[in-house]
Structure 1
């Protein structure tokens, strides 16, 4: 099964739409076709476009961004192979929301790299959005290295076994 990812923050207008856009962009640059989406654990901004600072930061780096805020649903835990939380509070909320028949691996996005949370830049200046962007790039590459790397290795091992 090809990897798919849902990037999650609280309101789905800052960190998670940026994470979605960056992960999709990095995957495409690496020739990896995957489904990426984003959502919030709360429904504060459902139907809204990303924060203008999120959009400006992505555009500055040539990363296409086009999403509308939505809230995490029970179906997301079965639809995606990976759910990536922006911070520990959202990770805890996701674990509480997770249905018994969930198939997605739920982890902190930063756990694929330095283990750090992505701080919410909403109440700060553009510098917070820049830091968020840089973390999203690092975490996207680390996520793809681990997840796609595992799948490639498993495929290589299967091919080697069948040729013996």
Structure 2
């Protein structure tokens, strides 16, 4: 049986800073590496549903030529079946996701940083541009580490099943 194409939902609290940046960066890095995958972002809370990302998130992405076009949304139970991976920006959102996770969930839910240095992505909302820059650097590292692990694993599984 062939493996499902990887897809990822990047999650933070309000879906206007860390997760839309993480989703945009992951999509950008995947595209640069020639990997076709669906990437989206959402928040565990509904504080900003329908809003565009924070201006500082957009400015940071534009600075690095990363396309970002998103409206904030809240995580749904369907997300746990639609996506192969749900990537939490921090431990609090990871716990929220684990509480929200339905019984028939198929997505792997992990801390985004668990693919690299196991660190959380700090919320830059109440700080200055330095926090958004750090968020961007972490998203690039974590995106590459995620793709190395997940896509590499998918390729190995696909070649194993092709040899059956």
Same fold (TM over 0.5): yes
Match of 2:82 among 79, 82, 87: 79
Match of 2:159 among 136, 143, 156: 156
Structure 2 stretches of 5 or more lacking a match? Answer: none
Deviations, residues 51-100 of structure 1 (Å, cap 9, x unaligned): 00000000000000000000000000000000000000000000000000
Query: Is residue 2:130 matched to residue 1:127?
Result: yes
The runs of at least 4 consecutive aligned structure 1 residues that moved more than 3 Å come to: none
Structure 1 stretches of 5 or more lacking a match? Answer: none
Deviations, residues 114-137 of structure 1 (Å, cap 9, x unaligned): 000000000000000000000000
- Equivalent residues in 2 for 1:48-127 (5 A)? 48-127=51-130
Please report how far the alpha carbon of residue 155 of structure 1 lies from its aligned counterpart in structure 2 after TM superposition.
2.0
Structure 2 CA distance for aligned equivalents of residues 132 and 40 of structure 1: 16
Please report how far the alpha carbon of residue 153 of structure 1 lies from its aligned counterpart in structure 2 after TM superposition.
1.2
- Quote the residue 1:39 is aligned against: 42
Please report how far the alpha carbon of residue 37 of structure 1 lies from its aligned counterpart in structure 2 after TM superposition.
0.3
Q: Secondary structure at the match of 2:41?
A: strand
- Quote the residue 1:141 is aligned against: 144
- Quote the residue 2:24 is aligned against: 21
Please report how far the alpha carbon of residue 35 of structure 1 lies from its aligned counterpart in structure 2 after TM superposition.
0.4
Structure 2 CA distance for aligned equivalents of residues 21 and 106 of structure 1: 19
Q: Secondary structure at the match of 1:84?
A: strand
When the two structures are aligned, how many residues end up with a matched partner? 161
Q: What is the alpha-carbon root mean square deviation over aligned residues?
A: 0.7
TM-score under structure 1 length normalisation: 0.97
Structure 2 CA distance for aligned equivalents of residues 131 and 17 of structure 1: 15
Please report how far the alpha carbon of residue 154 of structure 1 lies from its aligned counterpart in structure 2 after TM superposition.
1.6
Please report how far the alpha carbon of residue 158 of structure 1 lies from its aligned counterpart in structure 2 after TM superposition.
3.1
